[in-house]
Structure 1
Amino acid sequence: MARTRDDAPLTAPIRWADADRARDDLAAGMRELVSSDANRIEVYWCAGRGVTSSAPSQLDAEFDTFDAFLRLLLALPEVDRSRLAVFLASSVGGAYAAAPLPPFTEATPPAPSSAYGRTKLRMEAALAEATLAGGWRSFVARITNLYGPGQDLAKGQGLLSVIVASYVTHRPVSIYVSLDTLRDYIYEDDCARVVDAAMLRVAAEPAGTIVTKIVGAMTAQSIGAILGENTKLRRRRPRVILGQGDPRGQANDLRVRSEVWTDLDALVRTTIPEGLNNLYLAQLAELGRGSR
Structure 2
Amino acid sequence: MTTYVWVIGARGLLGSATAAAITRRTGWELLSADPLPWADDEALSAAAAATATRLLATAATERANWAVLWLAGNAVTSTPPEAISRELRQLRLVLDAVGGAAAYQGTSRSGAVFYASSAGGVYGGSAHPPFDEQSTPVPISGYGRFKLDAEASLFDFSRATGVSVLAGRIANLYGPGQKLGKMQGLISHLAKAQFSPKPASIFVPLETMRDYIFVRDCAELVLDCVARLLTVTEATGRTEAIKNLASGQAVTISNLLGQIRSLAKGRPNVMLGYSAEASMQGLDLRITSTVWPDLDRRQLTSLPAGIKATMDDVLAHIQSGG
TM-score (norm 2): 0.87
User: In structure 2, how many angstroms separate the alpha carbons of the residues matched to 1:268 and 1:91?
Assistant: 22
Aligned to 1:273: 304
Answer yes or no: is 1:147 the counterpart of 2:174: yes
Aligned to 1:231: 261
- Give the 3-state SS of the residue equivalent to 1:185 in structure 2: strand
Q: Following TM superposition, by how much is the alpha carbon of 1:78 offset from its aligned partner in structure 2, in angstroms? A: 5.3
Amino acid at match of 2:310: L
Bigger drift between 112-121 and 147-156 goes to 147-156
- CA-to-partner distance for each residue in 1:195-236, whole Å, 9 max, x for gaps? 111111101223320211100000100001000011011110
Alignment of 1:66-77 (within 5 A): 66-76=91-101, 77=104
User: In structure 1, how many angstroms separate the alpha carbons of the residues matched to 2:106 and 2:282?
Assistant: 44
User: In structure 2, how many angstroms separate the alpha carbons of the residues matched to 1:21 and 1:169?
Assistant: 40
What 5-or-longer segments of structure 1 have no aligned partner? none
- From 246, 263, 280, the counterpart of 2:294: 263
Q: Following TM superposition, by how much is the alpha carbon of 1:281 offset from its aligned partner in structure 2, in angstroms? A: 1.1
On the 8 A contact 1:105/1:214 being kept in 2, the answer is yes
Aligned to 2:52: 30
- From 130, 134, 154, the counterpart of 1:107: 134
Amino acid at match of 1:118: R
On the 8 A contact 1:94/1:112 being kept in 2, the answer is yes
Alignment of 1:88-237 (within 5 A): 88-206=115-233, 207-237=237-267
Aligned to 1:287: 318
- Give the 3-state SS of the residue equivalent to 1:86 in structure 2: strand
Taking only the aligned residue pairs, the percentage that are identical comes to 35
Amino acid at match of 1:251: G
What 5-or-longer segments of structure 2 have no aligned partner? 1-17, 24-28
Bigger drift between 220-229 and 153-162 goes to 153-162
Amino acid at match of 2:286: R
User: In structure 2, how many angstroms separate the alpha carbons of the residues matched to 1:15 and 1:2?
Assistant: 19
Bigger drift between 75-84 and 99-108 goes to 75-84
User: In structure 1, how many angstroms separate the alpha carbons of the residues matched to 2:80 and 2:216?
Assistant: 30
- From 2, 18, 24, the counterpart of 2:40: 18
Q: Following TM superposition, by how much is the alpha carbon of 1:185 offset from its aligned partner in structure 2, in angstroms? A: 0.2
User: In structure 2, how many angstroms separate the alpha carbons of the residues matched to 1:8 and 1:117?
Assistant: 30
State the Cα RMSD in Å.
1.5
Aligned to 1:43: 68
Aligned to 2:5: none
User: In structure 2, how many angstroms separate the alpha carbons of the residues matched to 1:156 and 1:27?
Assistant: 32
User: In structure 2, how many angstroms separate the alpha carbons of the residues matched to 1:46 and 1:5?
Assistant: 14
Amino acid at match of 1:34: L
Bigger drift between 164-173 and 6-15 goes to 6-15
- Give the 3-state SS of the residue equivalent to 2:150 in structure 1: helix
On the 8 A contact 2:70/2:113 being kept in 1, the answer is yes
Q: Following TM superposition, by how much is the alpha carbon of 1:141 offset from its aligned partner in structure 2, in angstroms? A: 0.7
Count matched residues: 291
Answer yes or no: is 1:60 the counterpart of 2:85: yes
Task: Pick closer, same or farther for the CA change 1:194–1:34 going to 2, 3 Å.
Answer: same
Task: Pick closer, same or farther for the CA change 1:195–1:268 going to 2, 3 Å.
Answer: farther
User: In structure 2, how many angstroms separate the alpha carbons of the residues matched to 1:263 and 1:98?
Assistant: 28
Amino acid at match of 2:205: S
On the 8 A contact 1:160/1:276 being kept in 2, the answer is yes
User: In structure 2, how many angstroms separate the alpha carbons of the residues matched to 1:268 and 1:166?
Assistant: 29
Amino acid at match of 1:273: P
- CA-to-partner distance for each residue in 1:67-107, whole Å, 9 max, x for gaps? 12222222222523222211100001111111111111100
- Give the 3-state SS of the residue equivalent to 1:205 in structure 2: helix
- Give the 3-state SS of the residue equivalent to 1:155 in structure 2: coil
Bigger drift between 19-28 and 209-218 goes to 19-28
Bigger drift between 38-47 and 19-28 goes to 19-28
User: In structure 2, how many angstroms separate the alpha carbons of the residues matched to 1:168 and 1:264?
Assistant: 37
Aligned to 1:5: 22
